[in-house]
Amino acid sequence: MQGLLIRSPAQIRELAGYCAHVYIDFEKSAGHRPQALSQPQGADHARRLAQGIDHRNPRDVPLPHTLQEVRELVQKAKSLRDEAHRYILDTIEDIRLGSAVDTEDARQLVGAMVEQVIESPNALVWLTQLRDRDEYTSQHSINVCILALTFGRFLGMRERHLQTLGLGALLHDIGKMKVPLEILNAPRRLSEAEFQVMKAHPELGHLLLRRDRSLPREALNVVIGHHERMDGGGYPHGLQGEAIPLYARLVAVVDVYDAVSSNRVYHARRLPQEALAILFKMRGKELDTALVESFIRCIGVYPVGSLVELKSGEVGVVVGFNNEHRLKPTLMLLLDAGGAPLDQPVMMNLASPAWADGGNSPAIGRIRTPDEVGLDPEKVIHALQAQQGSQPSG
């Protein structure tokens, strides 16, 4: 159910018999807003506006309407992601050999990603769901860049601000290339001594990049500051609150989200909803409250790339949603109600006015994992690419 105005404790008790989760839309709630929904004030608010961030006016993403649109966006996004992967691998090799980081290539790559994110970030965000434990370092850098740009777009940032933010996000972990491989790739949780070595990576990255005068200061701030925490408990400098550069605070939110959403040797990946719950618990203590709450709104209840099962049994992947209908995303259905693959994916907008008058409007029943439904996200992407390649021209 959606859109029910709760007015009494009795209604809450009644809903508890039907609902496993309750999502509250504070923007549509009457009366006083909870304290947690904060807006930056004073000098910090002015700094955010100066750097293109406005929490008050989130920017929606255009929804894909046809399967062909999805295919074209995925094809373009996959090409960009592959290019980014090659850049990260080449950069790793250059650093190991003692060569300088090619920031010009990074700038061009981020520029192309900014262009697609401004047009529609959905396909790029979907691709962040593809995870390979053996390539965590490179995939994490790319995912953080994609998610930071998507978040920046949501916050209304202009292109030049997105370019700087994306550059810092793509290079945020570059210092890890100076960490010994036996620590970086350790197939276990690090010892305290090893963790101290790992904690040097923000400063190592800053040292690698600071001589490049073409890099904006804000991008360098992300590299050295993305592990600082609002309560002063972060590293390397133990900065606190607004002393932490704004873009570093933003990337810190995205960095944590992608890290806990990934398979690691010491923890299994969390579902997006679980990852967002972790961020919410960290707000105000470790992470910037306003940024966390805005990021949760940006990612949504059913993030792009999530697998969901309709109450009627069909399974699909979320390919888009808008801020007015966060519980009614646009899906690409992949399995029928019996769990069999559809001959052709089917687009379904759960927020379509076509369902407004019907009592049998489709609705999401639950979130599923790829293993539960036997769907390999990588194969789904490849199938879309193959279908795109087989489309007749003209």
In angstroms, the CA 64 to CA 316 distance is 15
User: Which residue type is seen at 129?
Assistant: Q
Question: Per residue in 176-227, pLDDT tens?
Answer: 999 998 998 887 889 999 999 999 999 999 999 998 989 999 999 999 999 9
Please check the confidence at residue 162 and state whether its pLDDT lies above 90: yes
Q: Identify how many contiguous H helices and E strands the chain contains and give both numbers.
A: 16, 5
Please check the confidence at residue 308 and state whether its pLDDT lies above 50: yes
When pLDDT is cut at 50, 70 and 90, the band that residue 42 belongs to is low
What DSSP character marks residue 232? S
In angstroms, the CA 19 to CA 69 distance is 35
Q: Given this model, what pLDDT does residue 378 score?
A: 81
First to last CA, the chain: 43
What DSSP character marks residue 329? -
Query: Where along the chain do its domains lie?
Result: 67-299, 306-385
**Contact (CB, 8 A) for 255 and 60:** no
Please check the confidence at residue 31 and state whether its pLDDT lies above 70: no
Nearest residue to 287 (alpha-carbon basis) of 278, 274, 297, 299: 278
In angstroms, the CA 88 to CA 297 distance is 30
Beta bridge partners of 331: 318, 348
The order of strands in the sheet holding 364-368 is 341-349, 330-335, 315-320, 307-310, 364-368
Q: How far is CA 191 from CA 35, 136, 233, 316, in A?
A: 39, 19, 19, 41
**Contact (CB, 8 A) for 258 and 128:** yes
Please check the confidence at residue 60 and state whether its pLDDT lies above 80: no
- Lookup: tokens for 30: 């009457």
SS3 347: strand
**Contact (CB, 8 A) for 332 and 338:** no
Architecture of domain 67-299: Orthogonal Bundle (1.10)
When pLDDT is cut at 50, 70 and 90, the band that residue 38 belongs to is low
Q: Given this model, what pLDDT does residue 2 score?
A: 46
- Lookup: tokens for 41: 């004030």
When pLDDT is cut at 50, 70 and 90, the band that residue 16 belongs to is low
